[in-house]
Amino acid sequence: MEGGKPGRIALRDNPGGEALILTTLALMALGAVMVFSTSFPTAAGAKWYYRRDVRQLLFATSGLLLLLLLWRLDYRWLVRRPWGRRLPTPAEALLVVGLCSAAAVLVFGRDIRGTLRFLQFGPVGFQPSEVLKFGVLVFLAGLLSRPGVRPRSFTRTFLPAVGLIGLGIALVVTQDFGTAAIIAIASAVLLLMGGVPWLYVLALLPLAAAGFYKFVVCDPHRWARITAFWDPFSTTNPSAYQPRQALIAVASGAAPAGVGGGVAKYGYLPEAGTDFIFAMICQELGAIGAGVVIALLLVWLLLAYRAARTAGDRLGALLAGGLGFLIGLQAVMHVAVNAVCLPPTGVSLPFVSAGGSSLLAMSAATAMIVSVSARKKMTSAERLMANE
């Protein structure tokens, strides 16, 4: 393409961005329907603000409004200092909020089945790890796109980046190994996208192996989930119950029960509306429903990839590529867990699973990708059309 600074393209002239918003809306709508279905057994008699289905609808509406508002912002604003030179950039502020809230949850968090993942504010819970994982990637994208940055420098670029990633992982790994793994993998891929040598990233594998041994192999509960993944029909391992019920729900989709007709949500499959919502989609909507979800996710990823490829600058390419990869990785892990191709990790299905923190964070991330697609480098003809 011919040169020129990135200029904003109207949404009607940006089919990629428009399709990304519509795809996200379709996933949110499907999620609202499935959360309503899976929460039906526990919704009766509860106050409206404690009902998961009502909250999901509110969060989906808020997420859509957030998406429609934020995509208009120039993504380059993330690395500028709109409040003065001595104050942090929005990317730095987002990272600080993620780190501080992740630390706070270890002290003030709500204990749910032995883990501290939520800060509770009345009927609403906030999951800091959802902000942290996006904050780390946005900051890294800004770091690797700074003028004069040297991605191949071990001491000036790689070590500070690894220190930041390590801090984020350390704050969540004891309570949520799945999120820690997502942060580690997505950050490593973003480093490679930014030009960091493969050798530097591969050198982290022994450290990753040591972390896996410390936090998985040496943890009886987590190791039991690994062995349950190997044998989900074990009668001696209590951790095999959830994978087994997920397999039963997926297999029963050969004769789909229809929306609301699935039985796994009646106490048979724990976390049916969050960690195992894809299994419920299979049970109630069958292969067609599962295929639609996978197709929508693939379209979403393709559009994010296209935004990264046509980005107007290095920041846009890293931002769209990194955020797109993170959401895609989470989707793959969720489907793999539900199909018992991975041990349970507690990872939600993007835009579909119940949860306000995740939905709002991913809506904001999608808005940034749409913003990137709306500010690609335009040819002379495209600039002329945009100015008409």
Residue 210 lies in a domain: yes
pLDDT digits (tens, 9 = 90+) for 243-267: 999 999 999 988 888 888 888 988 8
Please check whether residue 192 lies inside any domain of the structure: yes
Total number of domains in the chain? 1
Q: What is the DSSP string of 23-76?
A: HHHHHHHHHHHHHHHHHHHHHTT--GGG-HHHHHHHHHHHHHHHHHHHTTS-GG
Q: Is residue 97 situated within a structural domain?
A: yes
Q: Is 6 contained in some domain?
A: no
Are 357 and 126 in contact by the 8 Å Cβ rule? The answer is yes
Indicate whether 4 belongs to any domain. Answer: no
Domain assignment present for residue 300? The answer is: yes
On whether the CB atoms of residues 164 and 140 are closer than 8 A, the answer is: yes
Q: Which candidate, 121, 239, 242, 105, places its Cα nearest to that of 174?
A: 105
Strands in 110-112's sheet, in edge-to-edge order, are: 110-112, 115-121, 124-126
Nearest-10 crossing angle of helices 356-373, 128-144: 20
Give the range among 186-200, 205-219, 365-379 with minimum mean pLDDT: 365-379
Q: Is 2 a domain residue?
A: no
Note the residue count of the chain. Answer: 388
Distance CA 184, CA 168 (A): 9
* Predicted TM-score (pTM) of this structure: 0.91
Write down the number of H helices and E strands in the chain. 14, 3
In a domain, 5, yes or no: no
**Residue pLDDT, tens place only, 63-96:** 999 999 999 999 999 998 877 777 889 999 999 9
Hey, is 302 helix, strand or coil? Answer: helix
pLDDT tens figures, 370-386: 999 998 655 444 444 44
Q: How far apart are CA 171 and CA 103, in angstroms?
A: 6
The residue among 12, 33, 75 whose CA lies nearest residue 366 is 75
C-alpha dihedral sign at 380, 385, 387, 388: positive
Domain with 365, as residue range(s), is 11-387
pLDDT at residue number 386: 43
Mean pLDDT, the chain, whole residue set: 89
